Amino acid sequence: MDDAQAYASVTVALEAGYRHIDSAAWYENEASVGRAIQHFLTKHALPRSAVFYTTKLKLNNGYASALAAIETSLDACRLGYIDLYLVHGPLGGPDARRDSWRACVEAKERGWVRSIGISTFGVRHMQEILKMDLEKPVVHQIDLHPFMARREIVELSKQNGMLLEAWAPLVRGLRFDHPTISALATKHSKDPAQVLLRYSIQKGYVPLPKTVSPKRVLSNADIFNFTLDEQEIRDLDALDENLVTDWDPTDCK
C-alpha cells in the first residue's frame, strides 16, 4: 500500500466510523497515515484522543537504535504521541529482543507512547519478556483466524493479561471458498469476510482487516447485526490447519 493508497484508505475508514488505525515502520506509510488522521481530526474538530493509532518497531538491533526508531516513528506521524507501540517481531535473538523491550518501556516513561506490546512472538520469546523485571506487554498482535488457532500462544497471552489483536483475520482471502465459510455466509446472508471478522470478535480478538477498497471498508464494519452460535464457533475452531499466510517467526531463535 503506497502513500496515496494509505492516505485514502485511512480517510475512508475514519469517515466510515473506524477509530483504530494500524501502521508500522515496515509499511513505510507512517507519515501518510498520520497525515490522514490529522486532517480527519481537524475537519471534524475532534481531539487527538478520538483516534487510536498503532505503529511498530521494524528491527531489533540494540537499545539505542530501538529508542531512536521509536522517536522517528513519533516524528513521522506528527500526532503528538503513539497510542500503542509494538515490537514487530522476535527476529534478532534474545538480547536484541530484551533491548527492544527496554526501549519500549523507556519510550512510554518519556510519554512518547501510551501502551506497549509485541507482535508475532512465539511462546519462548514471550517468556523471555515476561521474565524481565519490567512492565508486561498489554497487547499481542499475531495472525489469528479459524485456520491458524495458535492455542498455546493465545493461552499464554491471555494468562498474562494481553489483549489479542488478529492480523490477517480474513486469511488473505485464501479460504473464502471453504465449504464451512461459504455455508455460514449463506446462512447469515453475509459474505465470507464478514463471517471471519465476526468469528474474531466473538473469540475476543481485535481484528485488523486490511483493504484499499472503499466498498470493503464499509462491508467489513457491517458485522454487528448477526451472531454465530456456539456450534458454529466450534465448527470454525475445528478448521485449524496451522495455515501461514505471510511470515511466521514464532520459532526463530
Active site residues: 27, 88
User: Which run of H or of E encompasses 22?
Assistant: strand 20-22
- C-alpha cell, 41: 481530526
Give CA–CA dist 38/35, Å, rounded: 5
Burial of 3 from C-beta contacts in 10 A (0-12 / 13-18 / 19+): middle
Contact 144, 119 (CB under 8 A): no
Question: By three-state DSSP, how is residue 236 classified?
Answer: helix
Give CA–CA dist 84/52, Å, rounded: 8
E strands, 144-232, are: 163-167, 206-208
Give CA–CA dist 166/170, Å, rounded: 9
Give CA–CA dist 67/72, Å, rounded: 9
Give CA–CA dist 18/201, Å, rounded: 15
CA-closest candidate to residue 209, choices 148, 149, 163, 168: 168
